[in-house]
Amino acid sequence: MELHLPTVRQLAFLSLCCVLATVRQSDSTFIPGRCLCPRTQPAVRGPLKGLTVHYTNPTCDRVTVIVTLRSNDTEVCLDPEAPMGKRLIHCWKRAHKVGRDVKNCLRRRRRNARPGRRPGQGSPQRTRGQGRKSLS
């Protein structure tokens, strides 16, 4: 059996390509123990655009809450143990269980009306000169 030089070169080149492709794929594998959010914040201000919750998995041992701000499309990681993170996780679970849109979770809750006021009762009308403190 004779070995032809062009055939040997082609075989060597093909083998080298296979090795390089395998090495490149193995370098891009995800390393266990790395989470999407290295640092978290307890809360964010401003209107929210999107919400993503990643539960614990083989690559990360904690729940990850990521919100997108509407003002500049920045993704911010929230602390899942903080009140805002807990509220969003609870709403996320409920929305997926019921089949609702997760965007409902992004609306801020309104504060309750002032205590002592009945619903439907407007603010009391002041008469001219009464009810204001004088500046002197």
Given a contact cutoff of 8 angstroms between Cβ atoms, the answer to whether 47 and 69 are in contact is: yes
Mean pLDDT calculated for residue range 80-93: 93
82 falls within a domain = yes
Q: pLDDT tens digits, residue range 39-57?
A: 999 999 989 999 999 998 8
User: Is the CB of residue 51 less than 8 Å from the CB of residue 106?
Assistant: yes
Lowest mean pLDDT: which of 41-45, 87-91, 102-106, 112-116? 112-116
In a domain, 54, yes or no: yes
Confidence of residue 90 (pLDDT cuts 50, 70, 90): very high
Cα 37 to Cα 12, 15, 28, 34, 79: the distances in Å are 43, 39, 19, 9, 10
Q: Does residue 66 lie in a domain region? A: yes
The total number of structural domains in the chain stands at: 1
Inside any domain, residue 110: no
**Does residue 122 sit within a domain?**
no
Q: Between the ranges 24-28, 104-108, 123-127, where is the mean pLDDT highest? A: 104-108
75: pLDDT strictly greater than 80: yes
- Indicate which CATH number applies to the domain containing 97: 2.40.50.40
Q: Is residue 24 in a domain?
A: no
Distances in whole angstroms, Cα of residue 72 to Cα of each of 38, 96, 108, 127: 21, 27, 18, 46
Q: Is 115 domain-assigned?
A: no
Q: Is 6 or 25 the better-scoring residue by pLDDT? A: 6
In a domain, 131, yes or no: no
Residue 102 has pLDDT above 80, yes or no: yes
Structure tokens at 116: 């002592």
Domain, as residue range, for 52 = 48-105
Q: What's the whole-model pTM score?
A: 0.56
pLDDT value at 25 more than 80: no
**What would the pLDDT profile of 123-136 be if each residue is shown by its tens digit?**
556 566 665 555 55
